[in-house]
Structure 1
């Protein structure tokens, strides 16, 4: 399905992603973990073609994604939807219109200018919102929703593209533990029910173990771990984060029973 081979991105003398190689032969949910600056976001942005690569390649179903230009590149970005940490919604626009923006790549310039949407697309957008438990909020402005609700709107917008792959860049980093679990539950259901590949950058070990079929660890731009969740031991995590023996997994927990004992933000070296 998806093959990333020796993918590299350099910014001047700094190598953000260093010869990353990943092969995905079937739909799965993959978590990418690592400290801040490890190259996780840059890797996803290269997959989506938001950032150009320096060398290497990405192929999907035999198509060289890194060589796509113009309309072919935009078509790939529809097939490979991106969800961001900060939601990237239009705050003063209603929820259903934000979701409908997932269809912009296949609409005419005139329809886009006047915000004209086919009735069937509106019905589909509401159905997706209902699937995510937020259809009641469809007429509200996006800015009126909580962070967790806004992230589900962003997921709905991605689903409007009918993508084959969903990339989620730190989708729960700014959410409280309860909303984090709701969002991750939604992404997991999308993978299982739709058969879509989901690749998510995550900052907590328990989340990666609980939701992902495969975990990839990055350090200084390189992939240093690639295995099943049960192989992600505390020792392996220390190596991924470059941490010493004082590293505590509890400090990275998003479990509700850990609230009050630990923050949901990892306390590993920045």
Structure 2
């Protein structure tokens, strides 16, 4: 379905993504892990065409995404929705209107200027919010919601695009463990129930193991691991993060129990 071949992104003399190749041949939930600066976000931005590749190709169902321009590129960005760490909502706008922004690529300039939405789209937006457990917040301003709730609004906006792929760039990095679990549960349900491909950049190993069918590890712009969650051992993780024997998974865990144990060990 998705084929990445020798993909490279250079910024001056530095390669943020360096000759990356992998194929996803069926709908799956993929986790991309690695230290900050490993190239994870740049990779997703190239897939979505928010950034252009310096070299290489991205193909989806036989279509060369790297060559798309104009309306064809915008159509691809609608089919390949992006979720960001900082939510990218309009803070003073109500929740349901933020969700309806997921339809902008298929609306006229006139309707966009005057915020005119078909009744069917409004009903769909409410249904998606209900599915994510936040329909009661539909009339509130986005800024009135918690971080976890705002991230679910961002997921709802992505679903309004009816995408084939959802790209999530560090979707839980700014959330507490409880909200992180709610957001990851939602992404996993979307994959399983809708049959959508989900590719998520993640910092934590326990999250990747728990939610993903496949894990890709990046270090200094290159893929250094590509395997199943069971193959993601502590030794492999040390190689991905370039860490020594002092590396502790508990320090980066999003699991509530693991965090409690880590705090107890520090204070004991």
TM-score normalized with structure 2 length = 0.97
Residue 76 in structure 1 maps to residue 83 in structure 2? no
Residue 151 (structure 1) aligns with: 151
Q: Give the length in aligned residue pairs.
A: 263
What CA distance in whole angstroms lies between the structure 2 residues aligned with 1:193 and 1:9?
Answer: 34
CA contact (8 A) 1:252 1:262 kept: no
State yes or no: 1:119 paired with 2:119: yes
Distance across 2 between alignment mates of 1:138 and 1:22 = 39
Q: What pairs up with 1:45-60 in 2 under 5 angstroms?
A: 45-60=45-60
Unaligned runs of 5+ in 1: 264-270
Shift of 1:259: 2.9
Q: What are the Cα deviations for residues 68-94 of structure 1, in whole angstroms up to 9, with x where unaligned?
A: 000000000000000000000000000
- What is the Cα deviation at residue 252 of structure 1? 1.1
Residue 223 of structure 1 pairs with residue 240 of structure 2: no
| C-alpha separation in 2, matches of 1:63 and 1:73 | 12
Structure 2, unpaired ranges of 5+: 264-268
Shift of 1:256: 1.0
Following the alignment from structure 2 to structure 1, what is the Cα–Cα distance between the partners of residues 232 and 257? 21
Runs of 4+ in 1 over 6 A off after TM superposition: none
Which runs of structure 2 are paired with 1:244-263 in the superposition (5 Å)?
A: 244-262=244-262
Cα deviations by residue, 1:98-147 (Å, 9 ceiling, x for unpaired): 00000000000010000000000000000000000000000000000000
**Match of 1:163, SS?**
coil
- Residue by residue over 1:147-185, the C-alpha shift from the partner in whole angstroms, topping out at 9 and shown as x without a partner, is 000000000000000000000000000000000000000
What is the root-mean-square deviation in Å for CA atoms of aligned residues? Answer: 0.7
Q: Deviations over 1:233-264 (max 9, x none)?
A: 0000000000001101111111111234448x
| 1:96 CA drift (Å) | 0.1
1:85–1:172: 8 Å Cα contact kept in structure 2?
A: yes
CA contact (8 A) 1:94 1:139 kept: yes
Partners of 2:251 and 2:124 in 1: how far apart?
40
1:199-218 aligned at under 5 Å gives the runs 199-218=199-218
TM-score calculated relative to the size of structure 1 = 0.97
2:25 is matched with 25
Counterpart of 1:6 in 2: which secondary structure? strand
Q: Structure 1 residues 168-177 or 249-258, which shifts more? A: 249-258
